[in-house]
Chain A
């Protein structure tokens, strides 16, 4: 998509001399590294709580929240995160940890974009330590971060009272500006250079997060982020399993493919057409 002018903030971030401090690679999770979103995680957790009868109750409660979820998704990610986990009120911390690990192992890992994982590993090999910055709850992000070998992660936490979830998210809620602030604090603590760091996210709500990092990359961006990325000259990548397969083509099967140029008996000798070649 053609673009016009580059963003002055981008220029400022990129124009300064590169500091000796190392950078990191910050990744959003839902829609960026995995092709699932937070709603799916919440549904999984709620449909695995208690016996069948209780599960139906949880799911009905979730459905009752659907209009609010829709409005929250449209207007404010913070509210979406808060509404999604209201229904977990009363669930024990142990149970959540167990379900988080189960969700990661049974679902999330299978839904990782292979290209995303490849890029994460290549970035790490190039000296950019992976850090996950997600609005998903910590009991889901932690096992995935471990699986991916991420050195650190930021995620939402459920407020606990007496070892049970209150149904509220603990402040600060990891969304929008808070993701950017967390990255800045993290970089300061670890003596990382944000200007030399790379950030990957898929949603327009992650704009503050992307803008805080020297090298923002829009991954499978939604329409609004796509437009913003174009106007700011940000790279856009598309994690698409089919392209990954295409590039990893196994040539062994290729020779079996058909041959539809007409076959004629093998001839020997000169076919004999004569025409000036030049």
Chain B
């Protein structure tokens, strides 16, 4: 039997660095001499001195990427989990549909070649080798906006695009009734609708990118290729309230519902899933200081930060937005698995947690988060107030397992300018939702009962979803429900650096001009000894709260 130290020697230094248990150095407690901290603030960054005693949680460094991703994909297709190799499942007369994750993943978009392109090239070559001609590629957009031609070309790569666009490569259309079919109901009475093309295929391949543990698994097919009739069963206030958290599928009612629906899908359709995991290399080279502990900043890091902030502040709003949204991340693929949905997903999840999980001791009274310029729903667009809410209360609050980072009744401080600013082409129904529905109530269940159906069936919003590039009419409701667990949990939300207090008030939030003022407002109620945690993003961290 090998001695423990011998086992340690087998592990490379990079692997040791990524042992989740060895990540104590990623939780830093500030003192009076500590450096200022970088905080995402919409299309800008704050660089603020935080009170002594503040606990800062940093993301883990990026995992080493696979040395040869194409070879790894080939291996995954040949040695799948709980399934025959892909080639062994093929027949020249069969009908195959390949569903692909849409533009909401990953964030920011990854540098080319996109993982989807790498996988598609191998899938399509295999299908061609085995004489399978009846192949369709569907972007699994669900109720998201249609991807543009350029976005699709970028995601799937030149080869697939030239061959399949537009007749056999297209966006899913959740409002084309003739292209939808109901597969059945779950034992909870949930209707399972799916793209008819996918449902009637002999083989459905799903190409996924896991950015966070919320992604992938049955959520890919059962949500990505499903219309409102299915989504309403889990994208609702009650289900989302019962999800603790979205980043922990074992404790998420949303995922349990998606799993039930996915099981019905798999009973009716032969699904072969390909899941991937990526590392946290979100901002490389000139921007890599964004990932660092500020106490370890070199002079060069400080110079780059000053230059970066100066540039952002001296650009026009449009130019700054365009520049930020044009940035592409040098993500590296850390794993790829293929085969039966759940078996594949468990492997992918383990790798995703290996990248993001950081052990944290106990909750705090105050949680500070910075909302960045991008979310899954505003790629090349504006982060409107409803999306700020979704990012702050929906995503960042949920970056935990076991217990939230902030205690029940605590205060959450969200850093964002929070302007009354919308992109009408992408988010037309958000505008009405914000100005009409939220003006009457911000209670999720009331919004659901009074307005959801009207928006979901609104012909103009449906038209803009189908023929333009608008999110579905019901989408702002989902974004609002997304924040429901946080709204039920925290006592107070304060927006730091808020430029338009009326916007904060409409969402039931309080406004503060500065982060200092926000902290003072929070401690005036909770006391000066109130504990503060700052979740340092980017890139991404998931706190395993003890």
Contact A275 B85, beta carbon cutoff 8 Å: no
> From residue B291, how far is it (CB to closest CB) to chain A in Å?
23
Give the A-B contact count at a CB cut-off of 8 A: 161
A147 at the interface (CB under 8 A from B): no
A272 proximal to B (CB < 8 A): yes
0/1 interface trace, chain B 120-142, chain A, CB 8 Å (1 if under): 00001101111101111000000
- For A118, what are the chain B residues with a Cβ–Cβ distance below 8 Å? 463
Q: Is the CB of A6 within 8 A of B431?
A: yes
The distance from the CB of B475 to the nearest CB of chain A, in whole angstroms, is 14
The answer to whether A237 touches B463, judged by C-beta atoms less than 8 angstroms apart, is yes
Q: Is the CB of B431 within 8 A of A260?
A: no
Taking the closest CB of chain A, its distance from the CB of B54, in whole angstroms, is 35
CA distance A259 to B58 in the complex (A): 48
CB distance from A35 to the nearest CB of B (A): 15
Give chain B residues whose Cβ lies under 8 Å from the Cβ of A229. Answer: 424
Among listed B162-170, B242-250, B303-311, B405-413, interface-contacting one = B162-170
Q: How far is the CA of A265 from the CA of B124 in the complex (A)?
A: 15
CB of B318 within 8 Å of the partner chain:
yes
Interface set, chain A 242-269, CB cutoff 8 A to B: 243-244, 246-249, 251, 253-255, 257-264, 266-267
Interface of A is mostly: loop
| In contact, B78 and A272 (Cβ under 8 angstroms) | yes
Choice from A115, A248, A257, A272 contacting B463 with Cβ under 8 Å: A115
Contact call A274/B75, Cβ cutoff below 8 A: yes
Find chain B residues with CB under 8 A from A278 CB.
66, 72, 277, 334-337, 347, 351
Of A7-15, A59-67, A178-186, which binds chain B? A7-15
Which residues in B have their C-beta under 8 angstroms from that of A261?
A: 124-125, 127-128, 159, 163
* Alpha-carbon separation in the docked complex, A4 to B129 (Å): 53
A122 touches B467 (CB 8 A): no
Q: How far is the CA of A234 from the CA of B176 in the complex (A)?
A: 25
Cα distance A212–B371 in the bound complex, in angstroms: 37
A interface residues, how many (CB within 8 angstroms): 61
A20 at the interface (CB under 8 A from B): no
Q: Would you call A119 and B460 a contact (CB within 8 A)?
A: yes
Is B37 on the interface with A (CB-CB < 8 A)?
A: no
| Chain A hits for B421, CB < 8 A | 2-5
A37 to B281, CA, bound (A): 55
In the complex, what's the smallest C-beta–C-beta distance from A28 to chain B, in angstroms?
15
B75-A235 in contact (CB<8A): no
- Given A230-B424, A260-B162, A273-B74, A17 and B167 touching (CB < 8 A)? no
Produce 1/0 per residue, B417-453, CB < 8 A to A.
0011111110010011001100110000000000000
Residues of A within 8 A of B112 (CB): none
Q: Which residues of B contact A277 (CB under 8 A)?
A: 72, 75-76, 79, 335-337
Q: Once bound together, how far apart are the Cα atoms of A125 and B4, in whole Å? A: 72
Least CB distance, A257 to chain B, in whole angstroms: 5
B279 to chain A, nearest CB (A): 12
Contact A275 B68 (CB under 8 A): yes
Binary contact track A58-83/B, C-beta < 8 Å → 1, others 0: 00000000000000000000000000
> Is B535 engaged at the interface, CB distance under 8 Å to the other chain?
no
Which A residue's beta carbon lies closest to that of B197?
A251
Bound-state CA distance A130–B377 (Å) is 33
CB<8 Å pairs between A and B, sample of 9:
A2-B318, A115-B467, A126-B457, A217-B460, A229-B424, A243-B467, A259-B135, A259-B163, A270-B85
In the complex, besides A115-B467, A271-B78, A277-B337, 19 extra interface pairs with C-beta distance below 8 angstroms are A3-B421, A4-B421, A14-B436, A15-B439, A122-B462, A198-B460, A235-B428, A235-B461, A238-B467, A247-B176, A257-B164, A258-B163, A267-B129, A270-B85, A276-B72, A276-B75, A277-B72, A278-B334, A278-B337
Top-3 shortest CB links A-B: A278-B335, A122-B459, A261-B128
